[in-house]
Chains A and B, each alone.
Chain A
Amino acid sequence: MQCANMLLRKIVRSSVLPFAAQHGMKKDLFLLSRTLSLSLCLKQDNACEPSEKLDLDEWKKVMKSGLQEEVSETVSEPKELSSLAAARETLEMWRLAGRAVPENMSEEQLKTFMECPSKSAKKKYLKYLHLKELHKKSHRRKMDEKRERRLEAQDQASDTNETKKSSFVYLSSRTMDKVYHWRAAQSMIFGQPLVFDMSYEKEMSVREVTNTVKQIALSESFNRKTVDPFHIHFCNFKEDSLYHKEFTKQYREAWDKLLITVTDQCYTEIFPKDKLIYLTADSPKVMKKFDHDKIYIVGSMVDKSIKTGVSLARAKRLGLETAALPLDKYLLWSTGAKNLTLDQMMHILLTLKDTADWKKALEFVPKRKYCGFVNKPVKELKKRLDLINTLKLGRGREGVEKQFAKNHSKKYTLK
């Protein structure tokens, strides 16, 4: 056997191989051992391209062959799809292509998607759903991790088997809630009213209403937890409005037990007109101090698209006094719109009510919107800014002045 092998090798080496190489014969033809063919390959590695023995179109075969059974299954299905199902298919393909598309979509969401007026609106809606889904997933994962950790901790605790003894009086969250409710009930009798004007539903999209309700719920909870809460009024509140639907979704059964006043009446019917002040960023008047005898009105509106002057128009129509927060007087404003969220407004108003300290109150303006507090008279500051800029940047005086005027003058400048 060994002898035969030797012979074979000899033959190969001496005559056949060069012949084969010359004519490009396939190596499979030889009944050679594996080692031999490998050594051959190594020898000739520099000469031939690796691609020669790499079948580049093999993937096509794989793709086609793996499909035969699947295809026979799908063919039997009826070709015509309903428009909803077709949309679902398209979305699935988009997801496969790596676009921001949610994995699961309810029938209702799919309908909203199809009702979007334009391609970009559709894209935006899908992206919103996609991000929502991602947030939900990561939240669930975190909760799971937390539960596991808690279980572990419990196991350890049971091992040591120690009972907690403490001399402190333990306040359960239920006790705290009782205290808060007591205070809120008091505020409903003696508290200073604060009005949320719920008449902007027509101005908003569904998502904006949802956001508004979320912000109001935040404000309400913060108000409940302060020492001296406002007596919150929801005015112009219509039953079976979108607001109402969202509120019941947010609060569930607690909605009927909230210690606030909800009415479909206008604030002008409840309170004397001369006591009302409508807070709006468009107001030409700037609020100087918080007045404990006045009733402040906040418009319950989130405007993602720019709608200037909507709440000012409402106040003008009713002939009410208006006011804006003195943001420019106390803050060096940098970017962002001057309208604040409803919960920020609530924080600011509560702080003002308790302390009358503007600086403390305006801490609740988001940090990204301003560079710092104005601690000196504006004129002096302007001079210094000017000097710094001319020294450092060599910037023209006018440019700086313009920038400053933009931020600080409340005169009637041109748009």
Chain B
Amino acid sequence: VQPPEKPLQAEEWNKLREDFKLPEIFEEVMLNNMIRCNSPINVAKSLLTHVAKRNGDIAYSVLVKYLTLCVHQGQVSEIRDVYDIMKVRFKILESGAYNLLIRGLSNSDQWRMALTLLEEAKKIMVPSRTCYESCIKAASCRQEMKLAFELYHDMLAKDVVPTLDVLQSFFNFSRGMKGAELQKQLFGILLYLRENQIYPHKTFMRSIKLWFESIPGGNWRGNLTKIKDSGQCPVCKHQLEESNLSEEEYSNLSERIIRDVIHGTDTFRKTSPKEFEAFQTFVENRLPFDIVIDGLNVSHIKSRKMQCENLSDAVNCLAKENARLLVLGRKHMLMNSSNWKREVMKEMQNKADFFFAENISEDDAFLLYATLRSGKHCRFVTRDFLRDHKACLPDSVTRHLFRKWQRGHQIVFSSVFSQQPAFRYDCVVQTTGDTWHIPYKDVFEEKYSYQVPRKWLCIQQK
């Protein structure tokens, strides 16, 4: 139904209601349509008046819908009126109404009221991140940075993840402001980006750049750049952090891989204890390897070629540099078949070590183990993104470690046997005190979780 353009009389509403096929939900449907068409508020008021006169009461859901309309149109006095009515009529409100009220009031000069509402909402639930977002934005755009940061820390303490918008607003509104405390807080946000491996988008990056350059007496200068494969920043000639994990992180990660990915709830799900033991002794006797290859994955690179041919191409390509290779496969590869020729397999086994797992075992888990066990220099070859193995890791810290390690150690063969090298430098927000390097992505760039941005913001202090 199309909402009317002008406020209607009671009789007219009655007529419309009777024509509607489900009169019980007429008001709700009508208000929904008003919200969609952004109808004038007086029309909605006339409907409410009609309902109030007929029933002597207005249902909560109808009031919330009216509130939505008021919030969309920024009718602050109406929002307050609705709040007063709700407060008297109902003992407590629910999260939807609080969300709306906070959003509506935070944009007005009554924004302090939104803060009190936030406190009220905390009593019955954990406020949503949009609630926090509105309040933080309201506070920071009035230059009440201290209050805004209090809210921000409160949010983090409750495990509510802030939106990029909130983080950006901190930089936008502290532009040109002085104060060591403020600077520390904003650096804290940058470190938050680093710890959670979040990449800001282009407009956010610009806000960061402008803030740095606006610090009074700071003498910061920002440049957009791309980092060389060697890991050197072309602007400030600074060497970026290496992608290698620290000793502790490394041992932590390999422990977790063995515990959660290979064993999991039941060792028999991916392999068997006997097979895993055999593999362990096999690896320990031949350590360390330089490159570990997922044989089956590599053998599928070119669909026109025989699978063993693909594999032998890869092995030949990698064996050139006198590297110690380990190829992981399954037992069925040893059976002479149209795809796996015995002679070719024999020849390959002179160039590399081979381990054949049971046909129903998962060779990926072995790949991870062998690579981690060989040490930091060892890399591995597969086109697999290893997402399912990452998912086996229970906490986000270890998953981030896994991604970081994967970026630094995975070699990907595209179909023409050109290797895509593993990253030598770590792709996160980083600082040395007088420089900051911040990777960013374009606004509309689609980025998969395994990809990292190639563009950087380099900020240095002169």
Contact = CB atoms under 8 A, between A and B. Distances in A.
B384 A415 contact: yes
B7 A63 contact: no
Interface stretch (B91-99, B209-217, B346-354, B409-417): B91-99
Contact of A58 (B52, B93, B96): B52
A85 B52 CA distance: 30
Interface string B123-151: 01110000000000000000000000000
Contacts, number: 119
A336 interface: no
A90 B92 contact: yes
A393 interface: no
A54 B9 contact: yes
Nearest to A322: B360
A96 B59 contact: yes
Interface in A24-66: 49-51, 54-60, 62-64, 66
A74 to B, nearest CB: 7
A54 B46 contact: yes
B57 A412 contact: no
B108 interface: no
A312 B92 CA distance: 52
Given A58-B53, A62-B53, A309-B270, A93 B6 contact: no
B143 to A, nearest CB: 33
A60 B85 contact: yes
Given A51-B6, A54-B46, A93 B269 contact: no
A89 B95 CA distance: 12
B443 interface: no
A66 B56 contact: yes
A123 B84 CA distance: 28
Contacts of A89: 91-92, 124
A64 B85 contact: yes
Interface in A294-329: 308-310, 312-314, 316-317
Interface residues of A, number: 40
Contact of A63 (B52, B94, B97, B332): B52
Contact of A50 (B6, B89, B93): B6
Contacts of A50: 6-9
B58 interface: yes
Contact of B49 (A59, A94, A97, A310): A59
A310 B266 contact: yes
Interface string B423-442: 00000000000000000000
A116 to B, nearest CB: 13
A412 B332 contact: yes
Interface string A394-415: 0000000000000000001111
A309 B271 CA distance: 10
Contacts of B51: 59
Given A56-B46, A60-B85, A309-B270, A284 B60 contact: no
Contacts of A254: none
Contacts of B53: 58-59, 62
Interface in B294-336: 296-297, 300, 330, 332
A59 B57 CA distance: 8
Given A62-B56, A314-B268, A71 B7 contact: no
B94 A90 contact: yes
Given A58-B49, A66-B57, 20 more contacts: A54-B46, A56-B7, A57-B49, A58-B53, A59-B53, A62-B52, A62-B58, A63-B85, A64-B85, A66-B56, A93-B92, A94-B94, A96-B59, A203-B265, A284-B360, A312-B268, A412-B296, A413-B300, A414-B384, A415-B388
Interface of B: 6-9, 28, 42, 45-46, 48-49, 51-53, 56-61, 64, 81, 85, 88-97, 124-126, 265-270, 272, 296-297, 300, 330, 332, 359-360, 384, 388
6 contacts: A59-B48, A59-B51, A64-B88, A94-B96, A313-B268, A316-B268
Closest 7 CB pairs between A and B? Answer: A313-B268, A93-B94, A59-B52, A96-B60, A62-B52, A56-B45, A59-B48
